[in-house]
Each structure stands twice: as structure tokens, then as C-alpha cells.
Chain A
Amino acid sequence: MLNRDEDILQAAETWQKQGHGVALATVVETWGSAPRPAGSSLVINDDGTFLGSVSGGCVEGAVVTEALDVIASGQPKMLEFGVADETAWNVGLSCGGTIRVFVEKVG
């Protein structure tokens, strides 16, 4: 929950009305020094355009890729990024935290 950047939810609605495929990615759990709190979210459309953030920039690229799959399949997905996870380390959650991100299709 961060009110100041929540017009991203308005963008999600607008994109959907314009006929885009849209996904919403939300931080649902954090451990350690995760950069964004639970409730922070990112919206992604089928162009790969995104707004908001789930990690302050560390893992957004990976989340966007997964979100495009979710838009195509319609099936929600839970993603986990952390230091113990080699892929996550590669995408750079270097702050040492772990986050779980729920990705769902809008519509």
C-alpha cells in the first residue's frame, strides 16, 4: 500500500478498456531488507509497458517477462526472488531480501 503511486491501478483499468492484455504483479510477502513493502504493485500490458515497482528496480525485468506469460495463459503465478535463488541473484535483488510476487491477469 503506497498511495502516492497508486494511479497505476487507474492505468490498469485504462489499458484494459483500450483492449490491451493487462497483468497486475503485487508483492505479497517480504523477508529481510526487501526494498518495497507488501502491497506494492506493478502493472504490465501486452506491449511490455509497465508502471509502478515491486522492488525498486531490481527484479522488474523478470517480473515483466513472467507477466507476459500470465497475460497469455490467464493463470496466476507466484514468483519468489531472493539471495538463495540463483536466478534472482542474477537479476539482482542485491539488497539481501527475499520477496514473493503474485502475478495475475486483469479482466
Chain B
Amino acid sequence: METETTNKQQVRKYGLITLIIIIGVLLIYYAVMAMIAPAKKYNGLKDEYGYKQVVKNSINDTIQTDSTYLALFREKAFLQARTSIAETDSIYLSINLVDSSMVLEISGVAVARTKLTRISLSKMFLDRNDYVISSMLSKPFTIERNIASIPKEPLMIKMAPKDTSEFKPDIIPDTADYEPVNYILEMNNGTVMHVYQEEKLNRGDRSHLFLFDLRYRLRSAWSTLKSVFTFKVPEYHPYIKVRLPRSDAKIIYRALPGHGQIAVYR
């Protein structure tokens, strides 16, 4: 009887150890796969935007690290991106990460400006002198998906009265709005832009932002998890996180078209 109990205890003990080992191995595998993702993304970008040798000469290998060349190249890339969008006649956003400013433009005309109070960048965007990233920024980003705490168009449905007796004139609209303004823009090149309001106006604003961010993180974690367990390297999404005054954040979100474009300078 005593031996049976001891055996059971040992089986449970080994079972637990095996389970811990399996979970540990899976977590390590998950972490390793996730850590490979940025390098894979960068190599993909390198293939697409890397330095192309047009004419073979002695300077091609070193010029892409030259300070003067890189400074001019970054400037040209930003102008190129803005010019190409300006020709489309739509509303777009120019973000200058160096002087922390954001400008809403229509056909090359600045219609609204704001100062970014806080910027946080993915490691991919931190190296200002990376030729591949500078080259990638010469093409505007196109928004593929919006996730926001406010509606793009605050539509209100009103049923038409059947006759004049049912007609009631509109009362003054309630223009005081309290919703926090936070949104995430997913771009066509895999970059994700997080725009959060700077102010904490209400008590619930902090918890709202935490939950908003958590929901997005859970969604990303789920997609990473799916890739990893189908033995694929997950997609890496470099991010640009900015904070700006609430009113400006709202103006920008409402003004940008669903598939609007963004030019970035860093």
C-alpha cells in the first residue's frame, strides 16, 4: 500500500517535471523564433532598399557610410516621399522625428501642425545612419488598418418624420466629448504607428490606454503564436510611438483617409 502511494507520488513528480521542461522548451523556442524575426525583416528590407551599384567604381562600398552622403540622402528621401504624396491631392501626414513635429498636409500645403511631446522608436529606426532604412523612408507609408478609440466619422442616424407634425427641429449638438484619443495605424511596409494623447484628463484615461494597448498586444501575440507553432518565423513590426496633444491627435485621425499616406523623416 505504502509502495503504491510512493509510486503515484513519483509519477506525479516526474509528470510535473516533464510538463515544466516541455513548457520551458516551448517558451525558449518561441523566444528564439521571435528574436529571429527582426533580422529576417531587416534582410527583406535590405533586398528591397539596399544600396544598388549602378556603376562599378572604387567608392561604392564606403559611400553609404559617409556622413555627408547620408545626411543628404535622408533629406532627399523625405522630400521624395512628400512630393510623391503631394501629387495625389489627398490629405497626408509628414512626421519629422528629428525636430519632433507632425504636419498635416494637402497637396503640399501645410494645413495643421503639432509638436510631438514624446517619441519612442523601434530599434530599426534608432540608427539614423542606416542606409537601408533611409532608403525605405523615401517611399511613403500607406495605412492599411486603423484601430482607434474614437470613430473616424461620428455618424448619427436620424429617421425622417412621416409628416410635419412629427418634425422636431435639431437641438444644439453636444460638442463636449470626453473620449480618450488613442489610435494605432498599421502600414503597408509592416511599420506600426501608435498615436496616444498626451494629457490625462480624466481618471479613467490611464486605464483606458492600458487596456487599449493590451488589446493590441494580445492580438499581436496571438498572430506571433500562430506563426511560431506552424514553424514559421513571425512577422516583425517595427514601431513609432508618439504622444501629442489630444485635440491635435483627434484632428489628425479624423482628417487622414482610411488608406492615407505618411512621410517620415528621422
| Chain A bound to chain B | no
